[in-house]
Chains A and B, each alone.
Chain A
Amino acid sequence: MEAFKGSLTMITNPAVFAYVMKGVAFTIVISVVAVLCGILFGSILAMVRNYCTSKKTRVFQWLSVIYIEIFRNTPLLLWIFICLVFCPCPKALEHKMWGLSSAEVKLLFKTAVALILFTSSVIAEIVRGGLNSVAHGQFEAGHSQGFSTVQIMLYIVLPQAFRNIVPTLLSQVITTIKDSSYLANVATIELMSRVKKLLSSAHRYNGLNTVNVSDVFVLFGFACLIYFIINFTLSCVVRRMQKRKKAVPARRQEVMP
């Protein structure tokens, strides 16, 4: 019991709490940035894969297929290790920022790049699903109105495609938040790695000079709780959206028989 009380004092220690919360902030920022960049690159990849089918542009289609398939079929951790060695880091980033040392900033940048590359390939497939759900008549209608292909994409197809995939994209945010814990493998500064670091120095904070089982339960339980609260809230939002999406066409049918 005493060991458990000692473990609890770790969480209530304001310095430790602030340390963990900063990790939470980094987790969220990294995930959101990864998803936003993923949407950008993923949309490009998906459009290239779907519409570059003419003889001249088929090379690009093949490239995007290769990219998507390679990243979908290899683990994220491999790409983190690869980026750690091969990803160049711009000189402008190699100094202290946001309370991190320059080495940590460099590490953060490299691992974030890995996460972005990986997420793009997943989002590309999601966007492709959205693009395929847009009826082909929309293209023909656009062409007959004198829109160019780029305009059709921007004003007609993409808005409809994205409206269809908003729930799936949101659940991808959940997956990315979970995936960002992989960065802990190379000790980037997000939630998971901070909790793991705390565990290895728990003897200093729990007042017992030893690391016990209760430390594991308190620290990892706390991290679980944080992840759960964030992701469960998001998944509730996703479920409500899906319910609304299903309800809308039914209502329309009633109005216009």
Chain B
Amino acid sequence: MTTDPPSTPPPATPPAVGRVVVVAGGLSHERDVSLRSGRRVADAMRSAGLEVEQLDADATLLPRLAEDPPACVVPMLHGETGEDGAIREVLELLDLPYVGAVPTACRAAFDKPTAKAMVSRAGVHTPASVCLPHETFRELGAAAVMSALTDRLGLPLMVKPARSGSALGCSVVRTPADLPHAMVDAFAYGALALAERFVSGTEVAVGVVDTGDGPRALSPVSIHPDGGVYDYTARYTAGSTEFQVPATLSPELAEECARVAVLVHETLGLRDVSRSDLIVDDEGTVWFLEANVAPGFTETSTVPLAVSADGLDLGALFSRFVDTAVARGVHRA
């Protein structure tokens, strides 16, 4: 494990790899983001000399993969199916190598309470939280449960769907009166809602890449949204958020963020590429919020920003992921 920027990977050897399929789109709430990520990664790999085809995750996908099996699949699906391991399970059924983590690791990482519990056991700070289904509020009385929540966790709280991305359904709750609405918004995106103690500080995203010689952190990116909250609008409207890379942190804190991100990557059993979302509070404590097994690669995403800042080429980097995936083949966990 190291926090030094990884060296530029040597160029891929395109003829040896064969056709690569980028799967993007799907039917999750993050379809639009996924399509943009997929397009950018596909274009980058084409620029690196690979033969790339981009396919949607619909009923035509499996027949097409079966008819003309690619050398490797790059899943760029965000949200459920893409990040909960399901698409990778199917790729394994088809004996198709793919870039990224195995299904079990995806399931753990995509489920925020599970990921938080695992990284906490590894010694990483993560805000105290409670995860509950709607039925608990209905059966035990919402007022009583919400009162217990705020008594235990205090205010403000961050309320979010337990299994979702792109800040969809997330709310900051500053008063008890805000909590019911925030819970309803979170349940609009899934059956489980996570209430988490709100940590004030600098938001930092750290990409982790593994090109065959172990996971290494990219330069941390600090995030400074104009409106103070890094919501969907701030994430995907160019110009509405200022990013700093390297992050506006002391070298020691930047090093600590990188260490935490690599530790998260290893603890959750992730592969090839991941992103950890962290917050550094005013006392300099680094808090883990969530991990992403299919981080965004849109024009406004943080990982490609760090890739570029570290002097890497996105296409060459993905070529290395593809080489690694093809070399390891499919090994059922």
A interacts with B: no
Which residues in A have some Cβ–Cβ distance to B below 8 Å? none
Which residues in B have some Cβ–Cβ distance to A below 8 Å? none
